[in-house]
Chain A
Amino acid sequence: MLTGIAAPSWALAARTLRNILRRPQFLAPLVLMPTLFLAINTGGLHRSTDLPGFPEVDGFLDFQLAGAMTQSLLLGGVMQGIGTALEIEGGFFDRLVASPIPRVSIVLGRILAGTAIAAAQVVWFLILGAVFGVSFHGGALGVLLVILIGAIAGTGFAALGVLIALRARNASTVQGIFPLVFVVLFVSSAFFPRALLEAPADWFADINPLSYVADGMRDPIISGISATPVLEGLAAAAGLVLVFAALAVLALRGRLRDA
């Protein structure tokens, strides 16, 4: 093979990152909308911490921060999906396909950029939390674990976005499909403890990987580092990457085969 997977993947990831930074109107909503949600939820629902069964937290913001991160990461997936669909519509995707690079690099380039953006999104909310008095019980290691789980989960969401774009083939359809993904977020423990959810939401939340991603990022913030939620969070995030990246590569191959 003339070119390996790494060089074109990195080149395409760098290009995607550079373009995202050059298009702030795409980048800003990734953090602004979840930040507004966070502000509204924290202001209006802070008494929720008094509910019996609510975990011990220093404040409602401490609990909500992981939910806002998960929401932001999902929006990152939307952005990567729209970006891919726009490349398909505009023909740049054909240029990549007509190049002698491994097909997997086309998908990897996009989702690796998703990894970097996801890490930056998590850092934004960590800074926000620090500014508004969140206590990070897990310390520096906990913060690093939150960033790690978030970056991996963001990679998975980016792969999901690419998968949807490859199937939908146009940006408006991607935008239309993604609200359905957010339904999945609301039947998770991202915004409310699993213990306080009622059937069937609690059942969905138990099998929903977003619950484990959110809890994995939340635990180092609100109660220090515990092996179970962190490992479950890492496993769920890694599972998202493996499943959606594999499906995205298969979708690309299928698309090329059917062309």
Chain B
Amino acid sequence: MPGSAVEVVGLERTFGDFRAVDGIDLAVAPGEVYGFLGPNGAGKTTTVRMLVTLLRPTGGHARIAGFDVASQPGEVRRRIGVALQEAALDLLMTGRELMELQATLHGIPRRGVAARAADLIERVGLSEAAERRVGTYSGGMRRRLDLAMALIHAPEVLFLDEPTTGLDPTSRSTLWDEVRRLRDEGTTVFLTTQYLEEADQLADRVGIIDHGRIVAEGTPAALKAEVGRPRLDITLARDGDAAEPDADLAGRAIAPYGDLCAAAPGVHVSLRVESGAAAMAPVVRALDEAGFTVEGIELVRPTLDDVFAEKTGHRIEGAAPPAPAAV
């Protein structure tokens, strides 16, 4: 796609006989947040390392901000900010010292360094810790400092490789807010994650990678719509010591309101509905009239996990992070 911030065509990387990245194509528009979603070992980090010039592709090509990662790596490095999976920080330095070093490495004139560093440190909420050695920082503080360092030269494209893996909900929430702010400011963000919710919350578009190949791509809403309609999961109450309610009978009672899902064991019945929450009342009423007591009912919309399962035949382990404290 001409004018793309990130343009990848047939990108490959092999290690011996192992194809870590197996011919992926993608394009990220300027100002877009692109979520690169997949389980551990899917090829996310290998892809990012190629895009940030740390690893040479063994096939295909990639251009960042119009420059080829293999033949013009210096031009690429000037235009990107990188926060890799493990916040690679010098634990003996203070936050401020690291920011100033990063600024020097990016050729920022000395007179502007201190102010720029202080601004970014404040932005990520580390002003009080700026004079402390990074070795005393928590994991969340290190990630925030890493992000601030990646932003020191106002990059055109920011690469965040699993920025919230291992973080507590509060730290994750802070980083999510910062990514949203970057999006609002028009920064292109290439975000890898194994967390479905993270991709869903932050990304304008999502590419799902599995075994080195992109298996699905689109907006979160479009991908979920591909999988299908929302589902009502109903739990029927037992009546004292009586036998379990007859799920088959209950299913027949509510069948007119949607499509019964297969494999609803025991006291549970599931129904795919067109209308979402609007279907709940008539379904409960129908069950009541048929003599069932509804113990619980939940509207389950398709998730990116469903999309992933649909496209790959398996689910991402540990795909759900602890819920952020506030989003």
Using CB atoms and an 8 Å cutoff, list the residues of chain A in contact with chain B.
1-3, 7-8, 11-12, 15, 18-19, 22-23, 90-92, 94-101, 257-259
Q: Is the Cβ of B105 less than 8 Å from the Cβ of A11?
A: yes
Q: Is the Cβ of B106 less than 8 Å from the Cβ of A100?
A: yes
Q: Is the Cβ of B106 less than 8 Å from the Cβ of A23?
A: no
- B310 interface residue, CB < 8 Å from A? no
- Interface pairs (11), CB distance under 8 Å: A1-B74, A3-B106, A8-B105, A11-B105, A19-B93, A23-B92, A92-B89, A98-B77, A100-B74, A100-B78, A259-B56
Neighbouring B residues of A1 by C-beta, 8 Å: 74
Nearest residue in A to B53 (C-beta to C-beta)?
A98
* Additional A-B contact list (6), CB under 8 Å, known A11-B101, A96-B105, A99-B102: A2-B107, A8-B105, A12-B101, A23-B92, A98-B52, A98-B54
Nearest residue in A to B146 (C-beta to C-beta)?
A95
Would you list which residues of chain B between 80 and 134 have a CB under 8 Å from chain A? 80, 82, 84, 86, 88-90, 92-93, 97, 101-102, 104-107, 133
Q: How far is it, in angstroms, between the C-alpha of A90 and the C-alpha of B97 when the chains are bound?
A: 18
Nearest residue in B to A259 (C-beta to C-beta)?
B55
Q: How far is it, in angstroms, between the C-alpha of A98 and the C-alpha of B90 when the chains are bound?
A: 15
Would you list which residues of chain B between 209 and 229 have a CB under 8 Å from chain A? none
Neighbouring A residues of B54 by C-beta, 8 Å: 94, 97-98, 259
Nearest residue in A to B87 (C-beta to C-beta)?
A91
Neighbouring A residues of B97 by C-beta, 8 Å: 15, 18
Tell me, rounded to whole Å, the shortest Cβ–Cβ distance linking A25 to chain B: 12
Nearest residue in A to B81 (C-beta to C-beta)?
A98
Q: How far is it, in angstroms, between the C-alpha of A258 and the C-alpha of B15 when the chains are bound?
A: 11
Indicate the member of B82, B84, B104, B133 with the most A CB atoms within 10 Å: B104
Using CB atoms and an 8 Å cutoff, list the residues of chain B in contact with chain A.
52-56, 74, 77-78, 80, 82, 84, 86, 88-90, 92-93, 97, 101-102, 104-107, 133
Q: How far is it, in angstroms, between the C-alpha of A134 and the C-alpha of B85 when the chains are bound?
A: 55
Indicate the member of A1, A7, A94, A258 with the most B CB atoms within 10 Å: A94
Q: How far is it, in angstroms, between the C-alpha of A232 and the C-alpha of B53 when the chains are bound?
A: 43
Nearest residue in B to A2 (C-beta to C-beta)?
B107
Neighbouring A residues of B104 by C-beta, 8 Å: 3, 7-8, 11
Neighbouring B residues of A8 by C-beta, 8 Å: 104-105
Tell me, rounded to whole Å, the shortest Cβ–Cβ distance linking B78 to chain A: 4
Q: Is the Cβ of A257 less than 8 Å from the Cβ of B90?
A: no
Neighbouring A residues of B56 by C-beta, 8 Å: 257-259
Neighbouring B residues of A22 by C-beta, 8 Å: 92, 133
Q: How far is it, in angstroms, between the C-alpha of A1 and the C-alpha of B105 when the chains are bound?
A: 12
Neighbouring A residues of B107 by C-beta, 8 Å: 2-3, 7, 100
Indicate the member of A11, A22, A94, A98 with the most B CB atoms within 10 Å: A98
Q: How far is it, in angstroms, between the C-alpha of A2 and the C-alpha of B93 when the chains are bound?
A: 25
Nearest residue in B to A105 (C-beta to C-beta)?
B105
Q: Is the Cβ of A91 less than 8 Å from the Cβ of B86?
A: yes
Neighbouring B residues of A2 by C-beta, 8 Å: 78, 106-107
Ranked nearest first, the 3 interchain pairs of A and B with the lowest CB-CB distance are A91-B88, A3-B107, A99-B105
Q: Is the Cβ of A19 less than 8 Å from the Cβ of B90?
A: yes
Tell me, rounded to whole Å, the shortest Cβ–Cβ distance linking B66 to chain A: 16
Tell me, rounded to whole Å, the shortest Cβ–Cβ distance linking B74 to chain A: 6
Q: How far is it, in angstroms, between the C-alpha of A100 and the C-alpha of B82 when the chains are bound?
A: 12
Q: How far is it, in angstroms, between the C-alpha of A97 and the C-alpha of B105 when the chains are bound?
A: 10
Nearest residue in B to A95 (C-beta to C-beta)?
B88
